[in-house]
Amino acid sequence: MALRITEQCVNCDVCEPECPNQAIFEGPLHYQIDPTRCTECVGHFDRPQCVQVCPVDCIPLDLAYPETPPELLAKYHRLTGQPMA
């Protein structure tokens, strides 16, 4: 499942550089996450890095984009070009 950034975002700029998939970008009011690029850091890290560094805890799961861990791993492989094992 992709993550999303809520309106509680304070635009502190710490999440964007932490995203290994370049899924986070500056939106018109606050940062946003591209669900087609978000893997919850599956394949890269054990936990989503944006969630780890967010000082206001405003990055929940995006229920509009349900994905299983195997689907997130497959997306990671598509994005990185890494072959599936």
pLDDT tens, residue by residue, 12-67: 999 999 999 999 999 999 999 999 999 999 999 999 999 999 999 999 999 999 99
> Measured in whole angstroms, how far is the alpha carbon of residue 12 from the centre of its chain?
16
Tokens found for residue 60: 């929940």
Q: Give 54-73 pLDDT, tens digit per residue.
A: 999 999 999 999 999 999 99
Domain that includes residue 28, residue range: 16-80
Give how many domains the chain has, as a whole number: 1
Phi, psi of 9, rounded to the nearest 5 degrees: -55, 135
Which tokens is 8 given? 């509680």
Does some domain include residue 66? yes
**Does residue 36 sit within a domain?**
yes
